[in-house]
Amino acid sequence: MWDCRELGLFLCALSILPLVCFSASFVPLDNYLIDCGSLANTSIDSRNFTSDGFYKNLLSTQQDVLANTSLKSVTSSGDSPLYQTARIFTSSSKYTFPIIKKGRHWIRLYFFPFAYQNHNLSAANFAVTTQNYILLSNFSVSKNPVMKEYSLNLTSDTLVITFNPSHNSIAFLNAIEVVSVPDELIADDASTLNPVASYSGLLTVALETVFRVNMGGPTVSSGNDTLHRTWVPDQKFLIQPNLASNFSNIGAVTYVNGGPTENTAPPSVYGTLTQMNSADDPRSNFNVTWQFDVEPQFQYLIRLHFCDIVSKSLNELYFNVYVNSWLAAKDLDLSTKNHNVLATPYYMDLIAAPSVSNKIRVSIGPSTLNNDYPNAILNGLEIMKMNNSISSLSGSTTVPLASASSGSGSGSKKVGIIVGVTLGAISVLVLVAVLFILCRKQRRLEREGHSKTWIPLSINYGTSHTMGSKYSNGTTASAASSFGYRIPFVAVQEATNNFDESWVIGIGGFGKVYKGMLNDGTKVAVKRGNPRSQQGLAEFRTEIEMLSQFRHRHLVSLIGYCDERNEMILIYEYMEKGTLKSHLYGSGLPSLSWKERLEICIGAARGLHYLHTGYAKAVIHRDVKSANILLDENLMAKVADFGLSKTGPEIDQTHVSTAVKGSFGYLDPEYFRRQQLTEKSDVYSFGVVLFEVLCARPVIDPSLPREKVNLAEWTMKWQKRGQLEQIIDPTLAGKIRADSLRKFGETAEKCLADFGVDRPSMGDVLWNLEYALQLQEAVVQGDPEENSTNMIGELSPQVNDFNHDVSVSAAQFESSSLDDLSGVSMSRVFSQLVKSEGR
C-alpha cells in the first residue's frame, strides 16, 4: 500500500497533468488556410484564412478575370465569410502545396453554391483528387453549404489537389485547409468486430469524417477544439431519445499522461455524456442506440470516446457497447483503463462495415455485473470512412488519378475566375450557426443521395457493353472493389432474343432464367424477376448487395443488373454445365466420377467457406442445395442464388433470429425448431448435399418406402452402422476407395449433427473433403486400373507408395490453391495425412 507521501506526490502529479496538457497546444507545421476568391484575409476563430491571391503561386490556373460583385442576400445561410467568395475552375486545375512535415493532414474543402453572372454553381459537377486518392467524384452541391473533411497521411514533399470539372461543367471552391495533424491522433491499430481481430494498417488509410458527435452536449465549434474540428449534438441520432439522458461535468475531466489528450477530443466533449435514462432503477435493462446513415460498400473507422464522469468511486460502472449489434466491449470498466483514476478520457477504435445496407448503429447497455445501478455511457463518437481498394472515398464513379499530375494551366485564357461577394461585417456567432447548419445540411444531402442509390453499386454506363468479358471468368476476387453494372433494358432484350421462351434454361421462385449473349459475345444467364413481388424485390436487392461484395471463383459472378421499367433482372456469368443436381439424377446426363464429385464438393465448400469468413461479417447463404451449385464447362463448382442470404450472427449473440426460409429436405432442424440462424445451418444443408452427391437421389422422395423418404435420415442410419457403401450411387460401386468413402461419410455425418455447435465449420469440412480427395487420388495415381472390387472394404496399407504420392499430389495441390485465398492451410491437411499414415 502507499504511504502518505507517495499518495501526496501522486495527487500532485495528477493536478499538474491537466495543466501540462492544456498548455501544450498543437502547432501545425503545415498550415494552409485559403479563402478562395477573396481579396482580403478572413479571420475565423482566431485563425487567419488568407486571400488566395496571396497563394496564387500554388495554383496552376492563371488568374485572368477578377470580378467583384456585391450580390446582396446571396442566402441567409451562406453568411460565413468563407462562403462569400469562390474560385471557379472552368478546366482541370490543381493546387500544389509544399509539405514540410510528412504524416497526417486535414484537408478541409468548403463549398457553397451561389449564382454569379452566367455561372451557376449549383450546376457545377466535378471531381477532386490527390496524387493517391479520389476524394470526390461526380460531385455537386445543390443548395446548402458543405464542408468535407479528410485526413490523409501525406508521404511526399508536395500535395497536389486537382479539381476536374465534368464534361461541359465547372468546378468551384470557397475555401480550403491543408493542416498538419498530430501523428498520434490515428494509430496503426484498431479492432474489427466480426471476427473480433486486431487490424493494423490504419497509418496508410485515407479517412473522411462523416460524423463527429458530442454526446449529451451542445455543438463544439472549431474554435473550441485544438484541431479545429466541429462536434455536433447527438439528439437527432438517438433512435429512442426518451431512453437517454444527458450529463455534464466538464471540470472533472482529467487528462493523464499516456492517455488521450485534448487533441484526441476537447474537455467539452469528454465532459458531457449521454447515459441511460432512469439509471437508478435497478430493473432498467435497455440499450441506448444511435443510428447513422452511411454509404454502403465502405469500411468505417468508428472511434468511441468515453470518460466516466458519473461514477462516484472506482469499479462502480460496468456496461456493454455494441456496434451494428456486434458486441464491441463487454463489461467495460472505464476506471481500470487509465491508472485507476476516475474521469479520465479513454477511446476505442473499431472497424466496421454498415449493417444491413447503409446504417451504422452504436448501442450502449447495462452489464449484468452491476445490478444495483445499471447504467451505460458514451461521451463522443467519430465515424470515418476508409478508402476502398481503388483508393477512393467517393462511391459513385472512378476517376483516373493520373489526371492529378497532368494539371492544365496550359496558358489557356479565362480558366480561373475569382468571384467576390462583398458582404458586411460578420460575427463569430453567425459562423457558429452556419457551421451547425452546414453539418446538418451536409448530412441531409448525403441521406437524400442515398435514398436514391440503395443499390450499392458503381454505375458506369460507358462500359456496360464490354464488361462481360472482364468479369465472366470470375477471377476478380476482390471483395472491396465491388463493381456491378446497370445494363440497359434494350441490351438485355437483345441479349435474350427479346426473352425468347425457347431460351429459358430454368424457372425458380424468383422468375425465369434465360440463356443470353451480350453483344461482345459473353454468354450470360439472365434471371428475370416477377416485377410486382415485394418478396422478390427484397431478394433482388440482397442478391445484388451480396454478389457485388463477394467475388470469388467459387461464387457465381454477377455481371450486371437492370432495374429500368420496374424490371428486376440479374445477369450472371453463364454456367455451361448447369446445376449439380442435374448431374446427379433425373436428367439423363452421364454420371460423374467420384473424383469429379469430390472436386465439385470441394469447390462449393470453398465458396461457402469464403462467404462465412471472407468478409468482416459472416454471410449465411440459407439455401444451400444441389440446385444452387452450378458447374462451368470444366465442371468447376460455383455457389449461386444469394436471394435469401443474411449477414451473420453477432459475436456474442451466436445466432440471427429470423423466419424460417430455405428448401425442404435441406433445412437445419435446429434452425427450424428455434428459428435461429447461424453459419452452421449452411453446414447442415451442405451435409445433405454431400449425401445427395454420394447417393444420387432426391433429398425427399415420397415414392420410396417410409424409412427412405428423407435422404438425411436414411443415410445417417447407414452411416452410423458403418455400412454407407450399401446405399451409394450404384454407378460409383467399387470405384470409391474405402478410406476416401469413410472420410467423406464421417464429414457428412458431422455436418448433420443435431446441434450447430457440434457441426464442423465450413473450413473444417473443406479440408476433410480435400483429404478425402487425397485419399482417393493416392490410389488412383498409384494404379489407375486397380480392380475396383478391391477398393471398398479394403484398408490400404501401402504406406510407402502413399508417402510418395502425397508429396506429388501435395505439390499439385499447393500450386492450384495458391491463387485461392480461401484455401485452407495445407499444413492442416498434411498433419492429418501424416497421422493417418501412422495408424
In the bound complex, what is the minimum distance in angstroms from residue 615's beta carbon to ligand NAG? 12
Residue 33 CB, nearest distance to ligand NAG (Å)?
Answer: 8
503 near ligand NAG (CB under 6 A): no
Phi, psi of 732 (to 5 degrees): -95, -10
Q: Check 623, 641, 739, 764 and give the catalytic one.
A: 623
Half-sphere exposure in the Cβ direction for 806 (13 Å, CA):
21
Does 398 bind ligand NAG (CB under 6 A)? Our answer is: no
Q: CB under 8 Å to 807, separation ≥6 — which residues?
A: none
Q: Applying CB under 6 A, which of residues 9, 12, 20, 115 lies at the interface with ligand NAG?
A: 115
Closest approach, Cβ 549 to ligand NAG, in A, equals: 13
Does 322 sit near ligand NAG (CB under 6 A)? yes
| 756 Rama class: left (phi>0) / alpha (psi -120 to 50) / beta | alpha
**Start-to-end Cα distance in the chain:** 59
Q: What are the residues facing 513 on neighbouring strands?
A: 506, 527
Q: Please tell me whether residue 282 adopts helix, strand or coil conformation.
A: coil
Question: What does the angle CA 391 – CA 394 – CA 400 come to, to the nearest 5 degrees?
Answer: 55
The verdict on 71 binding ligand NAG (CB under 6 A) reads no
Other CB atoms closer than 10 Å to residue 321's CB: what's the count?
A: 23
Is 549 near ligand NAG (CB under 6 A)? no
Residue from 620, 604, 616, 771 nearest 688 by CA: 604
Binding mask 237-276 for ligand NAG (x = CB under 6 A): --------xx---------------------x--------
The single residue among 401, 480, 537, 733 that binds ligand NAG, judged by CB under 6 A, is 480
Shortest Cβ 127–ligand NAG spacing (Å)? 10
Residue 719 binds ligand NAG (CB under 6 A): no
CB nearer ligand NAG, residue 434 or residue 748: 434
Residue with Cβ nearer ligand NAG (209 or 796): 209
Asked if 293 contacts 330 with a C-beta cutoff of 8 angstroms, the reply is no
Query: Which 8-state DSSP code applies to residue 347?
Result: E
Q: Which is nearer to ligand NAG, 54 or 755 (CB)?
A: 54
- Residue numbers in the known binding site for ATP are 527
Is-contact 33 173, C-beta < 8 A?
Answer: no
Q: Which window, 281-289, 404-412, 550-558, 802-810, contacts ligand NAG (CB under 6 A)?
A: 281-289
CA 10 to chain centre: 45
Single residue of 4, 5, 46, 451 touching ligand NAG by CB under 6 A? 46
Cell numbers for 318: 460496468
Q: Does 517 bind ligand NAG (CB under 6 A)?
A: no
Is residue 54 close enough to count as binding ligand NAG by CB under 6 A?
yes
Of the two residues 223 and 506, which places its CB atom closer to ligand NAG in the complex? 223
Beta bridge partners of 560: 571
What does residue 239 show for φ and ψ, rounded to 5 degrees?
-75, -40
Shortest CB 201 distance to ligand NAG, Å: 7
Contact of 781 with 737, CB cutoff 8 Å: no
Q: Determine the Cα–Cα distance for residues 302 and 383; give it in Å rounded to an integer.
A: 5
Strands 175-180 and 126-129: what pairing? unpaired
Detail the residues annotated as belonging to a binding site: 527
Q: What is the closest distance, in whole angstroms, from the C-beta atom of residue 268 to ligand NAG in the complex?
A: 5
∠710-714-720 over CA atoms, to 5°?
A: 150
Asked if residues 194 and 617 have their Cβ atoms less than 8 Å apart, the reply is yes
* Contact pattern for ligand NAG over residues 409 through 448, marking x by CB under 6 A: -----------------------x----------------
Q: Are 160 and 114 in contact (CB under 8 A)?
A: no
Angle of helix 826-838 relative to helix 762-782, nearest 10 degrees, comes to 60
Q: How far is the CB of 271 from ligand NAG (least distance, A)?
A: 9
CA distance 449 to 28: 35
Nine cell digits for residue 557 = 459472378
- In whole angstroms, how close is the CB of 654 to ligand NAG at the nearest point? 10
Phi, psi at residue 363, to the nearest 5°?
Answer: -130, 150
Candidates 129, 261, 287, 367: give the one binding ligand NAG (CB under 6 A).
Answer: 287
Binder among 69, 74, 218, 665 for ligand NAG (CB under 6 A): 218
**In the complex with ligand NAG, which residue's Cβ is closer, 380 or 662?**
380
Which of residues 323 and 712 has its CB atom nearest to ligand NAG in the complex? 323
**How do beta strands 416-421 and 63-69 pair?**
parallel
From candidates 357, 497, 613, 653, binder to ligand NAG by CB under 6 A: 653
3-state secondary structure 40-74: CCEEECCEEEEECCCCHHHECCCEEEEEEECCCCC
Please, are residues 630 and 641 in contact by the beta-carbon 8 Å criterion? no
Select the span of 213-221, 336-344, 520-528, 691-699 touching ligand NAG (CB under 6 A): 213-221
Active-site annotation holds for 45: no
430 vs 459 by CB, closer to ligand NAG:
459
Chain centroid to Cα 544, Å, comes to: 14
Of 224, 311, 613, 809, the one binding ligand NAG (CB under 6 A) is 224
Which of 446, 506, 412 has the alpha carbon at shortest distance from 61?
412
* Cβ-based nearer residue to ligand NAG, 50 or 533: 50
Q: How far is the CB of 274 from ligand NAG (least distance, A)?
A: 8
Separation between Cα atoms, residue 341 and residue 349, nearest integer Å: 21
In the shown chain, the binding pattern of residues 605 to 644 toward ligand NAG, with x for contact by CB under 6 A and - for none, equals ----------------------------------------
Dihedral over Cα of 589, 594, 599, 604: its sign:
positive
Q: Is 387 in the site for ligand NAG (CB under 6 A)?
A: yes
- Position 48 contacts ligand NAG (CB under 6 A): yes
Q: Which of 63, 77, 138, 192 binds ligand NAG (CB under 6 A)?
A: 138
35, 91, 95, 104: residue in contact with ligand NAG (rule CB under 6 A) = 104
Binding to ligand NAG by residue 169, rule CB under 6 A?
A: no
**Closest distance of CB 584 from ligand NAG, Å:** 40
Q: Are strands 523-529 and 511-517 parallel, antiparallel or unpaired?
A: antiparallel
Question: How far apart (Å, rounded) are the C-alpha atoms in residues 312 and 373?
Answer: 12
Q: Is 392 in the site for ligand NAG (CB under 6 A)?
A: no
CB of 475 to ligand NAG, least distance (A): 19
In the three-class reduction of DSSP (H, G, I as helix; E, B as strand; rest coil), residue 518 is classed as coil
Cα→Cα distances 43→174, 223, 240, Å? 15, 11, 40
Of the two residues 388 and 647, which places its CB atom closer to ligand NAG in the complex? 388
CB-count exposure of residue 253 (10 Å: 0-12, 13-18, 19+): buried
Find the part of the chain contacting ligand NAG (CB under 6 A) among 221-229, 734-742, 763-771, 782-790. 221-229
Select the span of 11-19, 115-123, 497-505, 665-673 touching ligand NAG (CB under 6 A): 115-123
Candidates 76, 204, 412, 675; binder of ligand NAG (CB under 6 A) is 204
User: Using the rule CB under 6 A, is 216 a contact of ligand NAG?
Assistant: yes
Closest chain position to ligand NAG (CB):
223
Nearest distance in Å: CB 331, ligand NAG:
13
The answer to whether the bond into 182 is cis (omega within 30° of 0) is: no
Number of residues engaging ligand NAG in binding (CB under 6 A):
58
DSSP-assigned states of every residue in 149-204:
EEEEEE-SSEEEEEEEEPTT--EEESEEEEEE--GGGS-SEEEEETTEEEEE-GGG
* Residues within the interface to ligand NAG (CB under 6 A): 39-41, 43, 45-48, 50-51, 54, 66-68, 103-104, 115, 120, 122-123, 132, 138, 153, 155, 183, 203-205, 216-218, 221, 223-224, 233, 235, 245-246, 268, 285-287, 299, 322, 325, 363, 365, 386-389, 391, 396-397, 432, 459, 480, 653
Q: Which residues are catalytic?
A: 623
